[in-house]
């Protein structure tokens, strides 16, 4: 696969301090900030957003805006299929995204949901999308201002509609029929799920034959920010994911694998995404499974 596309800011990440500077310099809508707070079994994202968010940030609903409805057939795309391009375009326009204005996305889930938003925007052709490194916690640690919309005196964030044009195909994907052909297939799930010791979501435990495990936690430092490029490069090189290699990543449903894709982008490795991931693969009992 090719090397990472040029990014106008040279990184898919932005620090809280840099985002503060960017917002402080604004005299108009120079950057669009999207709040993608979402956690399985965690607090409701809209409530968290209303209680406090980066000023001007619009709330993104992962299930509604960043995925199509779950597929029920064994080869239908899994729990979080890609949204139709027209639907994604409409959602991003509603949230104020423009083609020529930088976008910063953040969450409070270690970058797992924000990574999906980053990947989808890049996949659909936006050239300047970055993830807030360390997310909401990093913003608060940096003393970033907090805007609330949870009282009768404050209105919800309603951005001016944007003019984003979705042109899918800018980030590589691996279809179901080609998964076993990938040279380095990275499983982003927790080690116990990869080994098949537990499976809380899907009908079969285990992993795609030949896959190697780099759980998303391996991408982060103790403070929740991404490890530096050299450290990430070493981690992924240890499983064969190096620049120029044929690399893809998957997870349970195609959301958290974007975190590994993002980490590899930081490390200079272009990786494809297997969108259907384990939720699609395990839906057919005839597909091979490895454990251990």
What positions carry a catalytic annotation?
251
What single-letter DSSP state applies at residue 200? S
What secondary structure does DSSP assign to 221-289, as a single string?
-TTSSBPPHHHHHHHHHTTT--TTS-EEEE-SSSSTHHHHHHHHHHTT---EE-SSHHHHHTTSTTS--
Separation of alpha carbons 239 and 237, rounded Å: 5
Query: Shortest CA distance to 265 belongs to which of 1, 8, 15, 5?
Result: 5
CB 268 within 8 Å of CB 4: yes
Read off the tokens for 56. Answer: 């001007």
Using DSSP, how many helices (H) and how many strands (E) does the chain show? 10, 9
Query: Shortest CA distance to 212 belongs to which of 175, 242, 244?
Result: 242
CB 171 within 8 Å of CB 274: no
What secondary structure does DSSP assign to 156-180, as a single string?
PP-PPP--------SS-B--GGGGG
Separation of alpha carbons 281 and 107, rounded Å: 28
Could you tell me what percentage of the chain is helix, strand and coil, using 3-state DSSP and rounding each to the nearest 5?
30, 10, 60
78, HSE (Cβ side, Cα atoms, 13 Å): 23
């Amino acid at each position: 696969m090719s090397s990472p596309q040029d990014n106008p800011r040279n990184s898919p990440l932005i620090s809280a301090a840099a985002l503060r500077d960017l917002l402080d310099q604004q005299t108009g809508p120079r950057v669009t900030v999207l709040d993608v707070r979402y956690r399985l079994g965690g607090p409701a994202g809209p409530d968290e957003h209303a209680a406090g968010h980066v000023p001007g940030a619009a709330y993104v609903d992962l299930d509604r805006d960043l995925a199509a409805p779950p597929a029920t057939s064994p080869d239908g795309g899994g729990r979080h299929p890609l949204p139709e391009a027209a639907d994604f375009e409409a959602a991003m326009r509603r949230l104020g995204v423009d083609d020529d204005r930088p976008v910063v996305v953040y969450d409070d889930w270690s970058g797992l949901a924000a990574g999906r938003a980053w990947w989808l925007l890049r996949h659909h052709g936006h050239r300047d999308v970055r993830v807030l490194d360390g997310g909401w916690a990093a913003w608060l640690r940096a003393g970033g201002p907090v805007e609330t919309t949870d009282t009768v005196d404050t209105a919800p964030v309603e951005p001016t509609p944007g003019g984003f044009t979705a042109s899918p195909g800018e980030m590589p994907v691996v279809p179901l029929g080609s998964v076993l052909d990938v040279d380095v297939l990275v499983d982003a799930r927790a080690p116990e799920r990869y080994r098949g010791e537990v499976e809380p979501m899907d009908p079969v435990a285990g992993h795609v034959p030949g896959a190697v495990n780099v759980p998303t936690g391996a991408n982060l430092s103790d403070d929740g920010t991404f490890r530096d490029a050299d450290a990430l490069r070493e981690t992924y090189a240890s499983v064969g994911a190096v620049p120029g290699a044929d690399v893809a990543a998957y997870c349970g449903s195609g959301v958290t694998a974007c975190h590994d894709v993002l980490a590899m982008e930081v490390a200079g490795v272009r990786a494809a995404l297997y969108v259907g991931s384990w939720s699609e693969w395990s839906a057919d009992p005839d597909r091979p499974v490895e454990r251990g």
